[in-house]
Amino acid sequence: MMQRVIQRRALRTTLSQLKAFNARDHIEQTYLPTFHFQGALPRLPIPELNSTCEKYLTSLEALEGHPDIKREDIERARQQVNGKSEK
């Protein structure tokens, strides 16, 4: 029972804070350059090329039916990924 009361209280506080939020009050000027903390970020692994190509083809197939994407375009991309490029 106590946990439910705390959750309701926390939710009520959150809702009241959201209602009082105004973005104009929270915009601040910063003097740090855009990539200031770039060196502190961890290096990410480079994904395998085959995995990337498969994801690319999957995304193209999902776009089939879009006015700018034709079935021929998808097939041409599939052939290029598989190394059977038309010349």
pLDDT more than 70, % of the chain: 66
Q: What angle do CA 68, 74, 77 make, to 5 degrees?
A: 120
Whose tokens are 């995995």? That residue is: 51
Is the pTM higher than 0.75? The answer reads no
What burial class does residue 40 get, using C-beta atoms within 10 Å of its C-beta: 0-12 exposed, 13-18 middle, 19+ buried?
A: exposed
Residues 74-87, mean pLDDT to the nearest whole number: 82
Q: Locate the domains of the chain by residue range.
A: 47-87
Torsion 46-48-49-53 (CA) sign: negative
What is d(CA 53, CA 49) in angstroms, rounded to the nearest whole number? 6
Amino acid at 1: M
For 22-48, how does the pLDDT look when each residue is reduced to its tens digit (9 = 90+)? 767 766 767 788 899 999 999 999 999
